[in-house]
Structure 1
Amino acid sequence: MVLIKPRLEFDRLEKIGEDEVGTYACGGRMIVSAPDMEDLVVPFRSSFPENPSAQCKVWSDLVDSFDEGDAPAQWFSKFFQIPCRLMIKDTRTVRTTDPLHTPPRDFFHYEPQAAFSDGFPFLLLSTSSMDKLNSLLALENLAPAHALNFRPNIMITGTTEPNVEDTYLRISVNRYPFFIACRCTRCQVPGNDLKTGKMKNDITKVIMRYRRIDPGAPYKACFGVNAIPGGVGYVLKVGDVVSVDETGVHTRKGGVWNGTEVPVVLGGVQDVEKKSVSIGGGVGRRRSVDITVRNKWGNGGFGGLLGWVALIFPGLSGILTRWWPF
C-alpha cells in the first residue's frame, strides 16, 4: 500500500468561513498512481443508491459500503495480483469511536466516528518523538525512519521532550477543540520500506524495546496518540497554532474518558494555562490528508510542506478490500 499514491481534484471550491476548500460535495475525482501502472481516475459520485452493495469488516465493525465498479477493481487486482474491490463508505452509516476512549456525546457537535481507519479519525505525533527514535536507530547503524512510516495526520514540532504528546488530553488547533483518545498501539506496518513496499522489522524491534509503556497494552509498542475533533467543518492550515489545554496520563486499560466529562487518569489531571506549542507537518493518515502546521516560533518541518483540509463529518473515504480491509 505504501507504493500507492492517491490525490484529489475538485471541480469547484466551497466557502467555509474565510477559506475556500474542496469537499466531496464539490465534485471531482480521486486519481491513484502506482509504479508501472497507468493512473486510475475514480470520479466522485453525485448520488448514491438507496441500499449499500456490501459491508466491509474493520476489526469487529461491519460498515455499509458501495462498490466503486469494475475498472478500479481491475486496476487494484492487477497491481496486487489478488482479487480486490474498491469500496466507499455509506455516509448514512455511523461507525462510532470506542466509547472507552471517547468523551460523552454532548461534548461534540456530531456523532464521533471513523470511516475505514483503525478506530479514530486522527493521529498526532511530535518530531521530538521521531528524533528520539532515529537516535536509537542510529546507535544500531540502522537507516532513519520517516514520519510517513507512522502515517500521522498532524505533527507538532519544537517540543524538546520526546513523546510529550502522551501527556495531552485536550488540545486546540486554531481554536478548534480536539480530544486525545488514547495512545496508538503499533503493528508491523511502520516497518514497511517506503520505497519498495517490502516489510522490514528494524523499526518495530526498536520501538518494542522502549515504547511498551502503556499499562493497558503491556505487550504492544505505542507511538503517537489518537485524536477526535470536537466538531465538523474544521479547516486546518499550515501555520495554525496548537494549544495544549489539559494534560494527564493515558492508559488503554479502562481508558481516560469512558464516556465521562472528566477524564479519569493515572496520577490525576493537570489543567494547564492555554499556551502555544511548536507544531509542524502532517503526512497523511486516517482521512488521507496532508497537514503541516507551524507555530509562532518558526516554520514547520518536512521542508515546509504545505497543505490544508476541510473536515466534513460524516465523510466519505475509499478502501481497498476483498470484502474486508487490508
Structure 2
Amino acid sequence: MPVLSAITLYPIKSCAGLSLQEATLTSLGVMSAQIYDREWMVVDHNGMCLTQREHPRMALIKPTLKGATLELRAPGMLRLEVPLGLPDPATAPTLTTHLWEDTVLAYDCDALTAEWFSQAIGVPCRLARFHANAARPVSTKWTGGVQATTMFSDGYPILVAGEASLQDLNQKLLAAGRQALPMNRFRPNLVIDGIEAFEEDYAESYLIGDVLLKPVKPCPRCPMPSIDQDTGQFGPDPMDIMQSYRAKPEVDGALCFGMNAILLAGEDQHVRVGQEIEVTLAF
C-alpha cells in the first residue's frame, strides 16, 4: 500500500524547508502552526521575486519554529526571529510583488529583516509576506476548470513526488559515474513511497484519509535541482541525465519531476508520515 513518507513545508520561497511528521492540508497548500507553504518571499527593490536560480545561497537560510516566531539562521549571521502573528491589514506597510506573470499584494517586513536578508543573500532585498486580502488563482488550463489558489509557489499549492522516481533517477546517475541525489533537490511538499517510478505522473487522485488531492500538471524543472541544498552551491547537475527520458511534450518538452496538485476535498484535515494513500490512476 502506498504511504506518505515525507512532508516538507517551505515557509519562505526558495529557502530551506521544515521537515514535518504531520501537517494540515489546505487549499493553499501544506500548513503547520498557522504557517502556510511559501507564505513569505524574498524580493528586490522592485518587488521582483528572488530565487535560488540566481541566488543559490538562499538554500542556507534555515527556518525553525520557536513559539510565536519563525527563527531563521544562515552561515555567519546572528539568528533572526520573524513574528508569526499576522499584521493588521488596515495599518501594516505593504508592497506590490511580482512572481512570474502575477502581481500580488504583500506585507512589507521591517528594515531589520530586510538588512538581515540582504547580508545573508548578498544583494539588497526585502522579505514580503502574502497579504491577508490577496488572492492568487492558479491557471485553470491544467485543473480542468477547477478553481484553486496558491500563495508564493511557482504555480500550484502542493508538489508531490514518488520515492521510486528518485531511486530511478539515482540509478541512472550512478550508472553514469555520478553521485546520487537526495529528494530535497526537487523540493516536494509530499513524498509517496510504495508506487512505481513516475507513477505519480499518471495518477487521477490521491486519497489520504479524508484528504483528496488531484495532480494537475507535471512540474517543469529549472536549474534548481543542480543546487546542493546543504552547501548553497551548484553541485552535480541531473538535468542532462533527465534530458534522456524526462522531457514532457505536454509542457513543451520541459524536463519534469513531480506533479503539481490541488486540494479537492478535506480542507484543514491532518495528514501524517506513514499514513496510507489510495492512489487512483487516470486510466
Same fold (TM over 0.5): yes
**CA distance in 2 between partners of 1:130 and 1:7 (Å):** 20
What is aligned with 1:128? 164
* CA gap 1:2/1:93 in 2 versus in 1, 3 angstroms: closer
The amino acid across from 2:190 in the alignment is I
- The superposition leaves residues 221-259 of structure 1 with CA deviations (integer Å, 9 ceiling, x where unpaired) of 0111001112421211122221123x22xxxxxxxxxxx
Which of 226, 241, 244 aligns to 2:260? It is: 226
CA distance in 2, matches of 1:65, 1:186: 26
Matched residue SS, 1:96: coil
Deviation at residue 205 of structure 1 after TM alignment: 1.4
Higher relative contact order (CA 8 A, sep 6+): 2
1:37 corresponds to which residue?
Answer: 77
In structure 1, runs of 5+ residues without a counterpart are 9-13, 15-20, 106-110, 249-269, 271-326
Specify the alignment match of 1:71 in structure 2.
112
The share of aligned pairs that are identical, in percent, is: 27
Q: Mark the CA change 1:49 to 1:99 in structure 2 (over 3 Å): closer, same or farther.
A: same
Map of 1:252 onto structure 2? none
Deviations 1:6-48 (A, max 9, x none): 669xxxxx9xxxxxx73259x8111111112111100123442
Higher mean alpha-carbon deviation, 57-66 vs 191-200, is at 191-200
- In 2, Cα distance between equivalents of 1:199 and 1:31: 26
Aligned ranges for residues 24-173 of structure 1 at < 5 Å? 24=35, 28-50=68-90, 53-105=94-146, 112-159=148-195, 161-173=196-208
Instruction: Choose 1 or 2 for highest CA Rg.
Output: 1
Q: Is the 8 A contact 1:31 1:41 kept in 2?
A: yes
The residue number in structure 2 matching 1:203 is: 238
**TM-aligned CA distance change 1:155 to 1:24, over 3 Å:** closer
Structure with the higher fraction of residues in strand conformation: 2
Specify the SS of the correspondent of 2:242: helix
Which residue pairs with 1:23 in the alignment? 34
- Length-normalised TM-score, structure 1: 0.65
Separation of aligned partners in 2, 1:139 and 1:24: 41
Residue number in structure 2 paired with 1:310: none
Task: Give structure 2 stretches of 5+ with no counterpart.
Answer: 1-11, 25-31, 37-66
Secondary structure of 1:45's counterpart equals coil
